[in-house]
Amino acid sequence: MCGFAGFSDFDENLLDEKYLWMALARRMARRVSHRGPDSQGAHVSAHCALAHMRLAVIDPQNGQQPMTARQEGGECTIAYNGELYNAPELRADLESRGYRFYTDCDTEVVLNAYLCYGESCPEKLNGIFAFAVDDVPRGRVFLCRDRFGVKPLFYTFPNGRLAFCSEIKGLFEHPGVNPSIGREGLCEVFGLGPARTPGCGVFQGIHELKPGHFALFDREGFRERPYFELAAAPYGGTYEEAVETVRELLLDAVARQMISDVPLCTFLSGGLDSSVVTAIAAQRLKERGRALSTYSFEFEGNEDYFTPSAFQPDRDQAWAEKVSGLLGTEHRTLLCGNEQLADSLFEGVIAKDLPGMADVDGSLLHFCHQVKERHVVALCGECADEIFGGYPWFHRREMYDGTRFPWSGDLALRQSLLKPELREVLGLEDYVAARLEETRKAVPHLPGEDPEQARARELAYLNLRWFMATLLDRKDRCSMYSGLEVRVPYCDHRIVQFVYNLPWEIKCPGGVAKGLLRDAAKGLLPDQVLLRKKSPYPKTHNPGYEAILKQRLAYILRDSLQPIHKILSEEAAKGLLDQSFDYGKPWFGQLMAGPQLLAYLIQINYWMLHYNIYIDL
């Protein structure tokens, strides 16, 4: 896992001032140095500059980047961020075609795959990745991102030049790239946030390469194209066959993602998803005579203040300890206090370059920093709910009627927070409705599909393209901010594509949420764990945290120089300070309730302040 940055210009020969441009590329990459603290490198050719920050996971002694290989007519150089899980098979294939290898790292496999297969190379890759190739023989730059966007890659066009970076902050080092937002950016933050339209970078002129896409930049300009899209296909097998296929794919995905030359652990909540991943990983390590390290997360005071709700029926700690005991893992429970949590809001903005899931992000940042003290790689249970139909909105019809995103509901509260004149200019309802309709039109259906199955497929697609993307973005940015690589076995594209085409009654037999996954995991864990009701990522229920947030927001509202006053209706915001919030009623997802709304506003203010954002309406 790493970070990289660069730029390309076909109207100028960068070699004329090589060291000037190399210094600029290095400055861009240094802004993401947290992603790769182990080594760094830079490269300049006539029309492209690349700089790389490396987190060494495979073959730490070799694999320095940017990495160059010679091809007939010139050199190709890659800057790569990710992990390739089918590297052995692909390496063998490439060796049979005459390609030679000088390291054991997967970067060289990806580079040779590009040399061999060109634009088709992403289709050969099983992994999480973003990379850029300076292809001198073909006179172009090639950008690529994994199928579901686990790894980020942003780009923009200062004065016709292409500039790109693993995170937005690196782009601001390039002359002519400035942090401004317009109507679209404000609609993203207040209408969709903390979700984000695929491909949208929120800041004006900044884009994110879409998941499952590659891009070409040459003298003809910039073209972005898909290489992977979910496809609708009929399923003709039995339920038992589906169970067996899911089990085989999951066992294989976890085994592949355990490959590492540095210490590996898992996140273990004691819920179904993380427990299954942990059970598979623990068994494989046990066969090698080693014990798996596991971590769970908790907040100080939750034992006194937690109240069960439909979204969070019980606490994780006892379950995590139970599963750890069953599997024989070396387990640690990490704690986060109120002040730590409130302070983490600011670091969360810097990690993401945007306001995000407030303390849900911040706490993960805090926990990942602690995990990195002992480990470099972790496996987690993220994405199972989106793939297997685990969220309440899959099962409660009133939560999705096709007119609103099911995880964000009514926009009235969001709109009430804006100045009346701004509310009118933005038109949040229309903007959000347009984004939803665009996605619904893109859903791949089967001809003549039953209306109920079509609805289930639509919900699955929405969750994969939006909600899962939001959580993957959170996971990458919060973990990599500490140089911790977190892998997501459920997001293996083979699992996602297979389960997407299963009828609803197979995914959730008898209406049992994730019943297919529970049956596929039988024998790995006892039924009491496999049948545990879903409980999401933990959050604090300590009222002391809410008190800190209200105090900090009140300070912001009293200071007329704080930038959020350009946007916020002070009357509506002050009204929030007088409310006693219902912790069980979220306004986004399952976790973001009243206190998280306060935290989100604090993050927006800090975002505008830290990046000195100019509002251009």
Catalytic residues: 2
Please tell me the distance from the alpha carbon of residue 452 to that of residue 461, in angstroms, as a whole number.
14
CA angle 155, 184, 457 (to 5 degrees): 85
Look at residues 34, 28, 40 and name the one whose alpha carbon lies nearest to residue 64: 40
Dihedral sign computed on CA atoms, order 513, 519, 521, 525: positive
Give one DSSP letter per residue of 53-86, joined into a string.
Answer: EE---SSTTS--SSEEEEETTEEEEEEEEEEETT
CB atoms within 10 A of CB 157: 17
What are the Cα distances from residue 185, in Å, to 292, 310, 435? 43, 33, 13
- Kindly give the residue spans of alpha helices, DSSP state H, lying in 397-490: 412-416, 420-426, 428-442, 451-462, 468-480
CA angle 538, 467, 405 (to 5 degrees): 110
CB neighbour list of residue 514: distance below 8 Å, 6 or more residues apart: 272, 384, 385, 388, 389, 390, 507, 508, 534
**Do the beta carbons of residue 378 and residue 487 sit within 8 Å?**
yes
- Adjacent-strand bridge partners of 68: 77
Please tell me the distance from the alpha carbon of residue 255 to that of residue 270, in angstroms, as a whole number.
20
Q: Say which residue the tokens 């199972």 belong to.
A: 384
**Do the beta carbons of residue 517 and residue 388 sit within 8 Å?**
yes
Q: Give the largest Cα separation in the chain, rounded.
A: 71
Token pair in block for residue 350:
């810097």
- Adjacent-strand bridge partners of 7: 49, 163
Please tell me the distance from the alpha carbon of residue 266 to that of residue 329, in angstroms, as a whole number.
10
- Adjacent-strand bridge partners of 392: none
Token pair in block for residue 261:
């030359």
CB atoms within 10 A of CB 589: 23
Q: Is 601 exposed, middle or buried (0-12, 13-18, 19+ CB in 10 A)?
A: buried
Please tell me the distance from the alpha carbon of residue 290 to that of residue 181, in angstroms, as a whole number.
51
Token pair in block for residue 433:
């409705």
CB atoms within 10 A of CB 325: 10
Please tell me the distance from the alpha carbon of residue 459 to that of residue 397, in angstroms, as a whole number.
11
CB neighbour list of residue 70: distance below 8 Å, 6 or more residues apart: none
Please tell me the distance from the alpha carbon of residue 605 to that of residue 358, in angstroms, as a whole number.
12
Sheet holding 48-54, edge to edge: 39-44, 48-54, 2-8, 162-165, 154-156, 207-208
194: preceding bond cis by omega (within 30 degrees):
yes
